[in-house]
Amino acid sequence: MNYFLNFINSGDHFSYVLSSYLIVFFIIFLIFILSNTKTKKLEKEFVNLIKNEEKK
């Protein structure tokens, strides 16, 4: 706990560490969300195409 309290009260260092963590996680979660969205969209499109094929 002492390590964390010292870290929070470290002034400039706190903002450098926090901003780097936020940027890295933002980038990783962004690629994760974009990949998931793209794949789900393609899955929907594929299901619709299969349905249309069956109707024909």
Q: Which residues bind another protein (CB under 8 A)?
A: 1, 3-4, 6-7, 10, 12-14, 16-17, 19-21, 23-24, 27-28, 30-32, 35-36, 38-39, 42-43, 45-46, 49-50, 53
Is the CB of residue 3 less than 8 Å from the CB of residue 10? no
Tell the smallest beta-carbon distance from residue 52 to another protein (Å).
Answer: 9
Tell the smallest beta-carbon distance from residue 55 to another protein (Å).
Answer: 13
- For 14, the token pair is 């706190």
- For 13, the token pair is 């260092």
